[in-house]
Protein backbone atom coordinates (compact mmCIF):
# COMPACT_ATOMS: atom_id res chain seq x y z
CA UNK A 1 0.00 0.00 0.00
CA UNK A 2 2.89 2.37 0.79
CA UNK A 3 4.33 1.92 -2.69
CA UNK A 4 0.93 2.48 -4.29
CA UNK A 5 0.33 5.69 -2.33
CA UNK A 6 3.77 7.01 -3.32
CA UNK A 7 3.19 6.04 -6.97
CA UNK A 8 -0.19 7.81 -7.03
CA UNK A 9 1.22 10.95 -5.45
CA UNK A 10 4.05 11.11 -7.99
CA UNK A 11 1.88 10.31 -11.01
CA UNK A 12 -0.71 12.92 -10.04
CA UNK A 13 2.00 15.48 -9.25
CA UNK A 14 0.30 16.66 -6.08
CA UNK A 15 1.73 17.72 -2.75
CA UNK A 16 0.60 15.37 -0.03
CA UNK A 17 0.81 15.71 3.73
CA UNK A 18 0.82 12.28 5.36
CA UNK A 19 0.84 11.95 9.15
CA UNK A 20 2.23 8.80 10.75
CA UNK A 21 3.90 7.67 13.96
CA UNK A 22 5.69 4.91 12.05
CA UNK A 23 9.28 5.98 11.37
CA UNK A 24 9.85 3.27 8.75
CA UNK A 25 6.72 4.35 6.89
CA UNK A 26 7.83 7.99 6.94
CA UNK A 27 11.38 7.18 5.84
CA UNK A 28 10.24 5.03 2.91
CA UNK A 29 7.39 7.19 1.64
CA UNK A 30 8.47 10.79 2.13
CA UNK A 31 10.54 13.24 0.15
CA UNK A 32 10.68 15.46 3.25
CA UNK A 33 9.87 14.65 6.87
CA UNK A 34 8.92 16.94 9.75
CA UNK A 35 9.86 15.32 13.05
CA UNK A 36 7.71 16.68 15.85
CA UNK A 37 7.99 16.27 19.63
CA UNK A 38 5.31 17.60 21.96
CA UNK A 39 4.02 19.95 19.25
CA UNK A 40 7.44 21.39 18.42
CA UNK A 41 9.32 20.91 15.18
CA UNK A 42 12.62 19.14 15.86
CA UNK A 43 13.89 18.79 12.29
CA UNK A 44 12.59 19.11 8.73
CA UNK A 45 14.67 17.35 6.10
CA UNK A 46 14.84 14.55 3.56
CA UNK A 47 15.10 11.00 4.98
CA UNK A 48 18.83 10.67 4.20
CA UNK A 49 19.68 13.87 6.10
CA UNK A 50 17.53 12.84 9.09
CA UNK A 51 19.33 9.51 9.26
CA UNK A 52 22.89 10.79 8.69
CA UNK A 53 22.71 14.15 10.48
CA UNK A 54 19.97 14.19 13.13
CA UNK A 55 19.49 17.67 14.63
CA UNK A 56 19.30 16.44 18.21
CA UNK A 57 19.12 13.38 20.48
CA UNK A 58 15.33 13.10 20.08
CA UNK A 59 15.57 12.84 16.28
CA UNK A 60 18.52 10.43 16.53
CA UNK A 61 16.64 8.12 18.88
CA UNK A 62 13.37 8.36 16.93
CA UNK A 63 14.70 7.72 13.42
CA UNK A 64 16.20 4.45 12.28
CA UNK A 65 15.53 0.78 12.47
CA UNK A 66 17.26 -0.52 14.45
CA UNK A 67 17.48 2.62 16.61
CA UNK A 68 20.77 4.51 16.80
CA UNK A 69 23.06 3.74 19.72
CA UNK A 70 23.48 6.73 22.01
CA UNK A 71 26.32 6.94 24.52
CA UNK A 72 26.53 9.64 27.17
CA UNK A 73 29.91 11.20 27.67
CA UNK A 74 31.95 14.38 27.68
CA UNK A 75 34.42 16.03 25.33
CA UNK A 76 37.88 16.83 26.67
CA UNK A 77 40.55 18.96 25.01
CA UNK A 78 44.12 17.82 25.56
CA UNK A 79 47.37 19.78 25.21
CA UNK A 80 47.93 19.26 21.47
CA UNK A 81 44.41 20.54 20.67
CA UNK A 82 43.16 16.98 20.28
CA UNK A 83 39.64 16.24 21.41
CA UNK A 84 38.75 13.12 23.39
CA UNK A 85 35.33 11.57 23.95
CA UNK A 86 35.25 10.28 27.54
CA UNK A 87 32.62 7.83 28.82
CA UNK A 88 32.71 5.28 31.65
CA UNK A 89 36.50 5.26 31.83
CA UNK A 90 36.90 4.92 28.05
CA UNK A 91 38.73 7.67 26.16
CA UNK A 92 38.51 7.89 22.38
CA UNK A 93 40.53 10.41 20.39
CA UNK A 94 38.28 12.09 17.82
CA UNK A 95 39.57 12.84 14.34
CA UNK A 96 40.60 16.41 13.60
CA UNK A 97 37.89 17.97 11.47
CA UNK A 98 38.37 21.43 9.97
CA UNK A 99 35.63 23.94 10.92
CA UNK A 100 32.72 24.18 8.48
Q: Is the peptide bond before 66 cis (omega within 30 degrees of 0)?
A: yes
Banded pLDDT at 41 (limits 50, 70, 90): very high
Contact 90, 77 (CB under 8 A): no
Burial of 100 per CB tally in 10 Å (0-12, 13-18, 19+): exposed
pTM of the model: 0.71
More confident residue, 58 or 97: 58
Mean pLDDT of the chain: 89
Amino acid sequence: MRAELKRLQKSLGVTTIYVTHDQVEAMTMADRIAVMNKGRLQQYADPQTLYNKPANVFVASFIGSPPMNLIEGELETVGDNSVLFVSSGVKLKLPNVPPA
